[in-house]
Amino acid sequence: MRRTLSAVAAGLAATLVIAGCSGRDLESSNETEGGSGEQVTLKVAFWGDMGLDKLKADYEKAHPNVKIVLNTGEFNAQHEDLQKKLVAGTGAPDISAVDEGFIVQFRNQSDKFVNLLDKGAGEFESKYLDWKWKASMSADGKQIGLGTDVGGLAMCYRSDLFKAAGLPTDREQVSKLWTNWDQFIEVGKQYVAKTGKKFVDSGTNMFNPVLAQQPVGFYDDQEQLQMNGGPKVAFDVSMKAIDAGISANLASFQPNWNQGFKKDQFAVLACPAWMLGHIQETAPDQKGKWDIAAIPGGGGNWGGSWWTVPSQGKNIDAATDFVKWMVQPEQQIEVFKTVGNLPSQPDLYKDPAVLDYKKEFMSNAPTGQIFAATAANLKPQYLGKKNGPTRVAVENVITRVQQGGLKSDAAWAEAVKQAEKVAKTGKA
């Protein structure tokens, strides 16, 4: 902000705007409306579309005294907002979704969340993928969240563009084209030579899935940076892809990337289950043009989230009840069908409702089978405390190579340097 006078005026205007959309107007709805028992309003914060609209309606019907307010926002902003409200000690939502990239950060502040084990969530442990259950446990054994979805990994591709480039379009055959990443890059070269268009969206979206497939990510379970293991493998693949000229070099999830969908700037996209909702949202008119094949290099996990209950809330019990209800099989399957998020409870992978499900948007691909298979045989990866910032630092180096500011053979040394810098900060 710049000039004092205008700053004051703008500040006033801003407070009005913020007050208008901060949900403050929602807090006044706590009067009883002839319902039974105490009226409670639960605010749920998440990002994108987590398929909650129907769940909300069902739950409110069954519990007339509960009103649920959904607040969706931008992925990073929601996490930051939660962090700020936890520090402030007030203003956090009753229930907040937390992504795998942030769960470690919040797990280390377990005193600010309700320990769900105290609320009888311990009985769910056996239902969950073991690593999913552990990832939201604090060091002193408090459970701050209940898992919703896991990412799994597959490769989405545009069958119409593949056809135009003379490549096979059938799922099975496409999967056979690339059993490993080198083959994948070769296919990309063929595609580029044939069409003059780029094949993948960005080097970072090559790096992330390959990293997710490695047994050890940036950090080992001793919180030591391990750049020469998994990150090196993933980095080399992304460099190779950039040097081969198959990358459109778009920054993922940003406006240009969204444009890239519409302008056919890339033909494949590494697809965790939650990416399906993203494609649907960004390019609704490409229904039936996308399809799903296996990802080179086997299964892995990229992303997935948990429901947490910040302990500063007024309605902790009601919030916990709702979270417990949301992670029940029926609701998880409901969400899977609406947006495609894959549940994190292995029993559901055998459930016919999941196994027989075909996603119309993705050319009727059997998403249930595809993702259940990747999730069932994946080797979970430990994500360190500083996983998020480290990933950003390395992604930035990849971006610099894409922008031409850095040669690919010098890039690895730079990536190590930047990652070590992140790892070193704040070590007392």
Distance between CA atoms of residues 131 and 258, nearest Å: 33
| Other beta carbons less than 10 A from residue 98's beta carbon | 25
Q: Identify the DSSP state of 148.
A: E
**Cβ contact 420:394 at 8 Å:** no
Least separation in angstroms between residue 426's CB and other proteins is 5
Restricting to residues 61-80, which ones interact with other proteins according to CB under 8 A?
Answer: 74-77, 80
Grouping H, G, I as helix, E, B as strand and the rest as coil, residue 55 is helix
In the list 32, 224, 254, 328, the residue contacting other proteins (rule: CB under 8 A) is 254
Binding residues among 394-413 for other proteins as defined by CB under 8 A: 396-397, 399-400, 403-406
Count residues near other proteins (CB under 8 A).
Answer: 42
Under 8 Å CB-to-CB from 212, ≥6 apart: which residues? 151, 153, 300, 301, 302, 381
To the nearest whole angstrom, how small is the minimum distance from the Cβ of residue 256 to other proteins? 6
Q: β-strands 95-99, 40-47: how paired?
A: parallel
- Which part of the chain contacts other proteins (CB under 8 A), choosing from 101-109, 288-296, 297-305, 312-320? 101-109
Can residue 1 be called a binding residue for other proteins (CB under 8 A)? yes
- Decide whether 227 or 411 has the Cβ nearer to other proteins: 411
Q: Is 87 in the site for other proteins (CB under 8 A)?
A: yes
Alpha helices in 228-315 (DSSP H): 230-243, 255-262, 273-282
Q: Which of the ranges 239-247, 329-337, 374-382, 387-395 carries the binding residues for other proteins, by CB under 8 A? A: 387-395
Between CA 262 and CA 283 the distance in angstroms is 7
Reading phi first (left if > 0) and then psi (alpha if -120 to 50, else beta), residue 375 is in: alpha
User: Which one of 57, 392, 410, 413 is in contact with other proteins (CB under 8 A)?
Assistant: 392
223 in contact with other proteins (CB under 8 A): no
Token pair 């028992």 is found at 37
Residue (111 or 317) nearer to other proteins, CB: 111
The rounded distance, in Å, linking the Cα atoms of 418 and 131 is 29
Is 274 exposed, middle or buried (CB count within 10 Å of its CB: 0-12, 13-18, 19+)?
Answer: buried
Cβ pair 281, 48 in contact under 8 A: yes
| 83 lies in the binding site for other proteins (CB under 8 A) | yes
**Least distance in angstroms from the C-beta of 145 to other proteins:** 17
Cβ neighbours around 329 below 10 Å, total:
15
282 binds other proteins (CB under 8 A): no
Question: Among 22, 179, 259, 377, which residue sits at the site for other proteins (rule: CB under 8 A)?
Answer: 259
Q: Which of residues 144-203 bind other proteins (CB under 8 A)?
A: none
Which residues of the chain form contacts with other proteins (CB under 8 A)? 1-4, 6, 74-77, 80, 83-84, 87, 105, 108-109, 111, 251, 253-256, 259, 263, 265, 385-386, 388-389, 392, 396-397, 399-400, 403-406, 422, 425-426, 428
